[in-house]
Amino acid sequence: MIDNDSTPVNPSLTDPVCTRLAQMNRRQILKAGAATLGATTSMTSSAANKGSDSSFLSFNEASVNQGADLKLAKGFTYKPIISFGDPLKPGMEAFDPLKLSEEEQKNRFGGSADFTHFFQDKKDKNKGILCVNNEFPEFAQNPEPEERELAAFHSVGCSVIALQKNSQGEWQVDLNSTLNKRITPTTKAVITGPAAGNKRLVSSASADGIQSAGTFGNCAGGFTPWGTYLTCEENVQTYFSGDVKSHPEAANLKRFGFKGKPHFFSKCDKRFDLQSDAQSPLHFGWVVEIDPYSPDEPIRKHSMLGKAKHECAEMTIDKHGHAVVYTSDDQTFEYIYKFVSKEKYREGNRQHNLKLLEDGTLYVAKFFEDGSMKWLPMVYGQGALTEKNGFKSQGDVLLDTRSAADLLGATPMDRPEDISISPKTGKVYFLMTGNRARNDQRLNVANKVVRGSGHIIELSADHHSDSAKWDFLVICGQDLADDTNSKFHKNTTFPGRFVYPDNGTFSPDGEFWVCSDGYGFPGFSDGFWHCEIEGQRGLTRRLATAPKGAELTGPCFTEDGRNLFMAVQHPASFPNGSFPDFNHLKARSGVVLISKV
């Protein structure tokens, strides 16, 4: 969602030392870095999914005109699966906005649905678990202000929902499942990896710097081949109230974009008052692993993947068997990261695999004009990451990931959001949502448009190597009519163009699809597009148009490719009926299932 992600906080844009490091040429970087590892090929953790989504590829484009409802290309239909406030436990009443309390919300679907992933049961294909991010608070209408805020406090985090097919073969929520769970700002958590136990993480709520609690600001994410869900904490800085300038972590908070403006979270929990619990902010901004099959286990915050405004965590297993996770930092002039595990993935050994994200090497991306790029290792004691620059351990490097990346001279990007990996080729696709602050003096080789409205970068498939080749797949230009600075296939129609590419996904047979986050962009409506990566490369076609005021997020195909889960976030309300109920209720975010008629 577009918010203060568009406000840059990267000092390397003006700091002379960081600027000099950022301008190091390719020869210097290669000389300073480790030797390039052998070429690999890989397969994404979803590549084993078989099936065809050919029915999704045949359509005439949807209308760009918005209304109260989700609009689809002719021949497609949708069914609401679950919406904000819907029950997750048996015996609960239907959603009533006037009655939604704190305790009720703990057992109801969260607000502002974003990333989704569906774990289909391996033994019974009529069952599965749907995991959904609940990005930011969604309010009901409880007449008691305090109760209304407490309910909104618990509306964020994630929702884990068991689904089953009914007698008509349609997916629906299984309210009787013990796997249904809400994960909120108070859910038990632990911190893993090099930062775990760091004295900077010791707080009134964490005596050891390991025990933690809760997650929020959950935007996109990923999943693992051992059946866990990865959710990413993005805009956590907006939830903390208090004085930033006098804070003991002032430099860290400033680099992360903390303002300390009043927020109702500080009334719900003292952890969100910067003066009451000074170190609490460092407990958020991580990639979090959730085991949907073990609802009583604490969620795990993996410090090894760095602290940033993570948008996603796209995972693959490389040819050598290492777990590789690509992550992005969703703010203007921030960076793209890659993690490679120390240990190797072991098929069928879930307990071993659950430790893979706790140890390895984190890298940050630097792009070069010759179409190559370099992954720069973020290792304590190497290069600029020393005590001289304020780092006392690898834990400090990860707690100050952004500052460490500044010093290494990584390439500042145009709001890197989602990352997708092709199940056919292994190529990686980085979605840049745009950068209205990009001017002539701030252009670089991978971000070439002044006030750009987004682009997609394609990376070669050598996941284990510390270098790769890259190219542009799509460049959105400055606006929809910008042919000078844009790059779409010549046959792309005006409705087929998008701006601010946000979420991406691949169908099981390797077709690429893109959602946009251009809410409020003049002359534009958010939607969902098919994007060709072979043949008519860069040809994009609109399958869906979001309800007015909404964006579409978290697209996820079922294993057979015949159905598509899609979140509809922040739809507008209409006097004559609003999404998804179209009755007296105000509009609600939620998840739908799109199918071919």
Is 48's pLDDT higher than 60?
A: no
Residue 46 reports pLDDT greater than 50: no
Residue 19: pLDDT over 60: no
Q: What percent of the chain has pLDDT over 90?
A: 89
pLDDT above 80: residue 1: no
Residue whose C-alpha is closest to residue 204's, from 260, 155, 274: 274
Q: Which residues pair with 505 in a beta bridge?
A: 513
Query: Which of the four pLDDT bands, split at 50, 70 and 90, describes residue 28?
Result: very low
Residue 5 pLDDT more than 80? no
pLDDT tens for 491-533 read 999 999 999 999 999 999 999 999 999 988 888 999 999 999 9
**Which of 191, 181, 228, 223 minimizes the C-alpha distance to 350?**
228
**Res 512: pLDDT:** 98
**Structure-block tokens of residue 214:** 């809760």
For the cut 60, the answer to whether the pLDDT of residue 21 exceeds it is no
More confident residue, 285 or 7: 285
Confidence of residue 39 (pLDDT cuts 50, 70, 90): very low
pLDDT digits 0-9 by tens, 148-159: 999 999 999 999
Closest CA relative to residue 548, chosen from 520, 522, 590, 528? 520
Distance (Å, whole) CA 329 – CA 394:
20
- Can you give the pLDDT at residue 182? 98
Residue 249: band (very low, low, confident or very high) from pLDDT cuts 50, 70, 90: very high
* CA 352 – CA 226 distance, rounded (Å): 10
Residue ranges of alpha helices (H) inside 299-426 are 350-353, 394-399, 401-408
pLDDT band at 3 (very low <50, low <70, confident <90, very high): low
d(CA 214, CA 198): 19
User: Would you give the DSSP letter of residue 175?
Assistant: T
Average pLDDT of 576-590? 97
Q: What percent of the chain has pLDDT over 70?
A: 92
Kindly tell me if the per-residue pLDDT of 30 is higher than 90.
no
Strand-pairing partners, residue 506, are 512
Q: Which of 506, 328, 505, 345 is nearest to 432 (CA)?
A: 328
- Closest by CA to 194, choosing from 473, 460, 400, is 400
pLDDT at 425 exceeding the cut of 60: yes
Which pLDDT value is given to residue 231?
A: 98
Question: d(Cα 56, Cα 53) in Å, to the nearest integer?
Answer: 5
Q: pLDDT-derived band of residue 42, with 50, 70 and 90 as boundaries?
A: very low
- What is the pLDDT averaged over residues 389-414? 98
Dmax over CA atoms of the chain, in Å, equals 66
Whether the pLDDT of residue 52 is over 80: the answer is no
Q: How many separate helices (H) and strands (E) can be counted in the chain?
A: 10, 33
> Does pLDDT of 55 surpass 90?
no
The mean pLDDT value of the chain amounts to 92
Whose structure tokens read 């073969």? 169
Angle (CA) 132-348-427 rounded to 5° is 60
Q: What is the DSSP string of 457-525?
A: EEE-S-TTSSEEEEEEEEEE-SSTT--SSEE--TT--TTT--SSEEEEEE-TTS-EEEEE--TT-TT--
**What pLDDT sits at residue 187?**
98
Alpha carbon 27 to its chain centroid, in Å, reads 33
Distances (CA, A) of 402 to 10, 16, 255, 257, 331: 8, 17, 7, 11, 11
pLDDT over 50 (residue 66): yes
Nearest 5°: the CA angle 537, 513, 589 is 155
CA proximity to 478, closest of 487, 470, 486, 468 = 486
pTM check: above 0.75: yes
Instruction: Give the model confidence (pLDDT) of 360-385 as tens digits.
Output: 999 999 999 999 999 999 999 999 99
pLDDT at 35 over 50: no
SS3 state of residue 542: strand
Question: Which of 475, 506, 545, 498 is CA-nearest to residue 74?
Answer: 545
More confident residue, 132 or 24: 132
